[in-house]
Amino acid sequence: MEYAHAFVEKWDELIDWERRAESEGGFFIELLRAHGCRKVLDVATGTGYHSVQLLRAGFEVTSVDGSATMLAKAFENAHRHGYILRTVQADWRWLRRDVHDFYDAVICLGNSFTHLHNENDRRKALAEYYAVLRHDGILILDQRNYDAILDKQIEPSHKYYYCGEHVSATPEYVDETLARFRYSFSDGSVFHLNMFPLRKAYVQRLMKEVGFQRVTTYGDFQETYRDTEPDFFIHVAEKKYVSTHGEESS
Ligand SMILES: C[S@@+](CC[C@H](N)C(=O)[O-])C[C@H]1O[C@@H](n2cnc3c(N)ncnc32)[C@H](O)[C@@H]1O
C-alpha cells in the first residue's frame, strides 16, 4: 500500500488535533450516538485522531491499521492524550483473520478507502467490514468528492485548503482510474499521493451489493471554501435488514 509516512508526520505536525476537531466538530460522535453505537472499530486508525476523539467521548474503541508504524505512532499520540489504545494490525481485505469480535460501528475515515486501487479489494474490504458488524451495526466511510473533479466542475488547478493555509491540495492528474494529488505544506514541503477516484454512486452501489440495506450520504462535515459542491461525502451504511415490504429485523 502506498502511504508516505513522512507525509503523515508532516500533516500531524502542521494540523494539530484541536484545529481538526474545530473543523470536523462533533459530526461523527453525534452520528454514532444517534445510531445508539457504543463499541466502535476504527479500521483506518492512521495516527489515531479519530480513535482518540471517540475514546474521549466515551466510546469503546479498537484501532486497526495495516501498518505497524502507523499503529505505533497512534499509540504514542493517544498515550500523550492520556489514553491507551487497543490496537490490531490487520489488512481490511482479510480483516476477520485478525478481528474476531463484533461491533456496533466500523469507521473508515480520512479519505482512506480511496487507497484501494482494485475493485476486488474494495468489495472484499466492504464485505469484511459488514462481517464484523452486529446485526444492526453501521459503517461510516468518508471520501473526497471525486465526482466534482471528474466531471470538471472543479478545475485541476483548484486548491483545497485544510485548516486555513497549512496545507493545500491540488488534483494534478485525474481520470476514471487515478487521481494524483499534490499536497503543499506551509513549510514548503511537497508530497504526491495516488488515489482511486471513487464516485459517490459507485461506493453506494458496492455497499448495497455486499449486503448493506440502506446507505445515507451526507455532504461536508467541515467548512470549505466552496459554496455549492461539498469537498467530502460521508456514507452511513446500515446492516439492519429491511425487507421490500418495509419490515425490519428486530
Ligand atoms: C488517510 S490514513 C488514516 C487517517 C485517519 N483516519 C485520519 O483521518 O487521520 C489511511 C490509513 O489507512 C491504512 N490503510 C490503507 N490501506 C489499508 C488496508 N488495506 N488495510 C489496513 N489499513 C490500510 C493506512 O496504513 C493509513 O494509516
Amino acid letter for position 17: W
C-alpha to C-alpha distance for 105 and 28, rounded to whole angstroms = 11
**Which residue carries 459530526 as its cell?**
27
List C-alpha distances in Å: 187 to 6, 9, 13, 15, 250.
13, 13, 11, 12, 54
Query: Which atom from ligand 1 is nearest to the alpha carbon of 91?
Result: 20
Tell whether 183 is covered by a domain.
no
Tell whether 48 is covered by a domain.
yes
CA-nearest of 139, 140, 158, 135 to 148 is 158
Classify 190 as helix, strand or coil: strand
CATH number at residue 85: 3.40.50.150
Tell whether 192 is covered by a domain.
no
C-alpha to C-alpha distance for 250 and 240, rounded to whole angstroms = 8
Compute the chain's Rg from CA coordinates.
18
Query: Which atom from ligand 1 is nearest to the alpha carbon of 65?
Result: 22
pLDDT given for residue 6 in this prediction: 80
- Best of 2, 62, 115, 120 to mutate for ligand 1, by most ligand atoms within 8 A of CB? 115
Cα(77) to centroid of ligand 1, in Å?
16
Tell whether 18 is covered by a domain.
no
C-alpha to C-alpha distance for 218 and 28, rounded to whole angstroms = 11
Cα(112) to centroid of ligand 1, in Å?
5
Cα(242) to centroid of ligand 1, in Å?
31
Tell whether 163 is covered by a domain.
no
C-alpha to C-alpha distance for 54 and 94, rounded to whole angstroms = 25
Q: Domain tally for the chain?
A: 1
50: domain range? Answer: 25-145+198-238
In terms of DSSP bridges, do strands 39-42 and 60-65 run parallel, antiparallel, or are they unpaired? parallel
Pocket of ligand 1 (CB under 6 A): 1, 3, 44, 46-47, 49-50, 65-67, 70, 91-93, 109-112, 115
Q: Which helix (H) or strand (E) holds 34?
A: helix 27-34
Q: Whose CA is nearest to atom 27 of ligand 1?
A: 46
Starting at the edge strand found earlier in the chain, the sheet holding 103-108 runs: 87-89, 60-65, 39-42, 103-108, 133-144, 232-238, 214-218
Tell whether 8 is covered by a domain.
no
Cα(247) to centroid of ligand 1, in Å?
36
Tell whether 247 is covered by a domain.
no
Tell whether 79 is covered by a domain.
yes
The pLDDT tens digits along the chain (250 residues) read 445 678 878 878 777 788 778 777 789 999 999 999 999 999 999 999 999 999 999 999 999 999 999 999 999 999 999 999 999 999 999 999 999 999 999 999 999 999 999 999 999 999 999 999 999 999 999 999 999 999 987 776 677 777 767 888 888 999 999 999 999 988 899 999 999 999 999 999 999 999 999 999 998 765 454 556 788 899 999 999 988 776 665 5
